[in-house]
A and B are shown apart, each in its own frame.
Chain A
Amino acid sequence: MSAPALELRHPDERTAAKRTPEEQRAHEAREVAQHYEHHPEIFSLVLDSRLAYSTGVFASPDEDLETGQARKFARVAAKLNIQPGEKVLDVGCGWGSLLLYLAQHTQGYFHGITLSGKQREVALQRAKDWGVADRVRVDLTHVEELAPAPESYDVVLFSGSIVHMHNREAIHQLVARTLKPGGRLFISDCYFPEVPRGDRDSSATRYIFVTAMGYCRLLSLSEELGLIGRAGLDVLHVEDLSSSYVQTLGHWIDNVRKNRDRIEELAPGFARVLQGYMTVAKLSFARRTALEYMLLATKGAPKVHVAGWPIPGDAR
């Protein structure tokens, strides 16, 4: 029996579905990169010191951005449990926030890919500055172009990046092929609720998906989990971070406000785009018309043991 086709929820997804995979890849490479090709100083004024461009993990409402992002890095590192010599592919590595944190805290080998030349430059410079350049490589390519060899990586990461990729079934098949036995897939990204809630075809949705970010395709969680499962991987752990994203976006928006003049100097009009899309996103996560999840899956027998993770609760 063939798998159910993914729902096409927006005019832009219907247009994407008419393109060949090569055409869509070129579209994503061109449109998505534009956002990230803005001057890195802009993002350094808005994000945390490692330049994480996805949600942090907040334990209380008064925590600052740095604390929330540090907790996220530590939590992801614990989830992945990277062993010396293991090979990690970070798809959409951005300016290297998670990639370089993991390089500094493990003895693995790290391969980041991005569609933005500016992000690659920053990531490589930081790898040098932080003394991990010998175990970090960053290439400018789309994951579908990379075509990694079968069973060549122990871990594949998508932190706030898989949402930019239309051909999700092909991506998951590729990831499942490229993981070694015991390999882990990690995703941190946003999803639509299973039942439509709010207006998914509004001008606000289009603003965030197209005007601000170039191309985005939000699936429902069950669609993504289904694709992961059908590719032959087993889901190990799913964690909701929607309320943490509300807090993260609140910090980012405040930083845009504080640095509006400098951002305007570097890229006229971009402060407005940032604040606009971040406000739409914050309202969406607060109202749960969009949901943020961290997903962990394994290829075959897991090398990480989720039952032992410390979540308070007695077995009495």
Chain B
Amino acid sequence: MSRTIPLDEIGREVRGIIAGTLRRPVEQVPLTASLEGGLGIDSMAMIEINIGLEERFRFAMPEMASPAEANLKTVEDLARFVAAQLDRQTGRSA
């Protein structure tokens, strides 16, 4: 089975989930925003965002207490990371 969700849709969903977790309008969460420095995502927010992503995409995110642990700097990095995880877990070679 291959991932059928295009990257731009994953990006929109990631922005929505981050905005929901941080209780901010989605316009304040552009793909270019820095997760830690810009949006101030702490360990609990990271865990809640990851659970939100798991609920939405039905896969398992690795456990991490900060974006830096997975070398993620921006919202777009997180969207690409989700896409890669989905590819891996749904069996499509990257």
Contact = CB atoms under 8 A, between A and B. Distances in A.
Sorting the interface of chain A by its residue count into under 10, 10 to 19, 20 to 34 or 35 or more gives 10 to 19
B34 to A, nearest CB: 19
Given A204-B65, A257-B60, A282-B63, A275 B45 contact: no
B14 interface: no
Given A280-B47, A283-B65, A203 B42 contact: yes
Interface string A264-277: 00000000100110
Nearest to B60: A257
A276 B51 contact: yes
A279 B42 contact: no
A98 to B, nearest CB: 28
B17 to A, nearest CB: 12
A279 B47 contact: yes
Contacts, number: 37
B44 interface: yes
A158 interface: no
B61 to A, nearest CB: 10
B43 A204 contact: yes
Contacts of B50: 279
Given A257-B54, A272-B55, A202 B43 contact: yes
Given A279-B63, A282-B63, A283-B65, A272 B51 contact: yes
A280 B64 CA distance: 9
A207 B45 CA distance: 11
Given A279-B63, A282-B63, A283-B63, A204 B51 contact: no
Interface of A: 202-204, 207, 257, 260, 272, 275-276, 279-280, 282-283
Given A279-B47, A280-B44, 20 more contacts: A202-B43, A202-B44, A203-B42, A203-B43, A203-B44, A203-B45, A204-B47, A204-B65, A207-B44, A257-B60, A272-B48, A272-B51, A272-B52, A272-B55, A276-B44, A276-B51, A280-B47, A282-B63, A283-B63, A283-B65
